[in-house]
Amino acid sequence: MSIRLRLAIQFGAILALTLLFFSLAIYFATKQSRRELFTQSLFKRTLVVGHAYADGQDARQDSTEEKSYRRYLRQLYRTLPAEEGRVYDSADRLVFQEGQGPTKPVPAAWLARVRLSGRAVLESQTNYHETVGLLYRDENLGPLVVVASSVDEDSRQQLEQLRRLLAGGLLAALVVAGIGSWVFAGRALRPLRRMVREVDGITATDLSQRLTQAAGANDEIGRLAQRFNRLLERLESAFAGQRTFVRDASHELRTPLAALIGELEVALLQAERPPTEYRRVLQSTLDSARQLNELTNGLLQIARASDDPSQVPMACVQIDELLLLAHEQLLRRHPTCRVDLDFGETDDDGSYEVYGNEALLLSAMLNVLDNACKFSAGSDCAVTATLTRKDSRLVLLVADRGPGLSSSDLQQVFVPFFRAASARAVPGHGIGLPLTARIMALHGGLVRLESEVGSGTQVWLEWPSKPAV
């Protein structure tokens, strides 16, 4: 079932129930009101019957009064359908009756209740017929019980007409509401149908397309289109980065592989070679294999740093201890490089504690320190690593006196496999800083870089610290 049809049915059902309850309320309110009016009318007629009976029993009345009484009775009776009037004396004997049809006996208990309460309803309105009783007091005749009954034919006709009117109005309203809800649901869902057509035209090879948005649209559908366009932008950026990463990785992997294959092919051209030549070939292939191993490890670390943070094991890590470990491993890689460590003064034992993955954080520190040592080779100035705490963040500043980077190169340093012009002669693959940036982002931190050509480079690693307990 389509959303349009479902909306039309739901709207029609809600409107139908609302109109049905409203029609029932009107009908029963009208019926109750007319029933009460008819009951009051019968009580008034019992009072008139009592007056007429008492006047008719007056022994002193003359012939003129008697004629007036008969004329009054003729005007009174037969004005209501099946109307009947009866009078019972103080001994509950029927002394007067006016009307047609068989007389239904009145229970003595009910007559006693009328005498006690003054008025009562013997038979509530059933099939529009009702019987009431009234206590009428006369000085000469004593307490009389006057009973009146009739059929409310006017209410029967008017309520039947009201039922037809409400039923017809309900059906007409449902038809109009059904057509209107179908039309308005179609108009409301028109942007969605357009979005479906546009989404069908977007393929994995062309993510540059965007969903069109109505001018000034700020409703739910407009916001959905905005969110979808942002999703397309992220997907396009991710796909472009993936294609660039695969292209650059293939190029970087091909270089050591080509050197490795070339050395082995040359070694196999001659049957016998001096041992020194074999040793040179083996050393060259070992260097290429190590280069491949480093590149593969870097690619695996980048993939790991790009994982969902919930899938990476985290624990409390002491950054100062981790920096000492990175310094120790760095000296084994670069024995001639001088690295000075500086720890800020603090009174809290846990002030250098962060929540993260120790292996990834160690890799990020080693990448920054290794770059500083490689680009400071041949310089008399030492590399400095300063660890401080600023408010709720830990900051590690690594500074070197290398050749530095130009402003254009600074904008590309976090692109995987990018090598600045001043770094082409230095061994590397261009994945150190991109890997560090992803590791820091995984830990809620960031990497900042400042550099000038000929003045060295400064790298800041910042991440939120774990508050001391």
Q: Tell me: the pLDDT tens digits for 307-320? A: 556 667 788 888 88
pLDDT at position 315: 85
Flag whether pLDDT at 60 surpasses 50.
no
Domain span(s) for CATH 3.30.450 in the chain: 3-159
From the list 56, 43, 59, 66, the residue with the least C-alpha distance to 96 is 56
317 to each of 219, 323, 357, how far by Cα in Å? 47, 11, 8
For the residues 183-204, what does the mean pLDDT come to? Answer: 79
Residues 53, 147 contacting (CB under 8 angstroms): no
Handedness of CA 39, 45, 46, 48 (dihedral sign): positive
Class of domain 220-304: mainly alpha
| Cross-strand pairs, 137 | 143
pLDDT (0 to 100) of residue 285: 80
Q: What is the pLDDT of residue 25?
A: 92
Task: Quickly list H helices, 57-125.
Answer: 63-76, 108-117
Q: Where in the chain is the domain with CATH 3.30.565.10?
A: 310-464
Q: What is the average pLDDT score of the chain?
A: 78
Query: In this predicted model, which residue has the larger pLDDT, 221 or 437?
Result: 437
Mean pLDDT of 361-376: 84
Spelled out in words, what is the top-level CATH class assigned to the domain 3-159? alpha beta
pLDDT of 256 over the 80 cut: no
pLDDT digits (tens, 9 = 90+) for 435-457: 788 888 888 888 988 888 878 88
**Mutual angle of helices 275-305 and 220-267, in 10-degree steps:** 170
* pLDDT digit string, tens, across residues 13-36: 888 888 889 999 998 999 889 888
Among 244, 288, 253, 194, smallest CA distance to 416 is for 244
pLDDT score recorded for residue 92: 83
* pLDDT band, residue 469 (cuts 50/70/90): very low
Question: Where in the sequence of the chain do the CATH 1.10.287.130 domains occur?
Answer: 220-304
Tell me the C-alpha distance between 441 and 436, whole Å: 9
Q: What per-residue confidence (pLDDT) applies to 29? A: 92
Superfamily designation of domain 310-464 = Histidine kinase-like ATPase, C-terminal domain (3.30.565.10)
93 three-class SS: coil
Give the orientation angle of helix 275-305 with respect to helix 432-442, to 10 degrees. 30
Question: What is d(CA 169, CA 164) in angstroms, rounded to the nearest whole number?
Answer: 8
pLDDT at 468: 44
Q: What's the pLDDT at 59?
A: 46
* Highest averaged pLDDT of the listed ranges 88-102, 337-351, 410-424, 442-456: 442-456
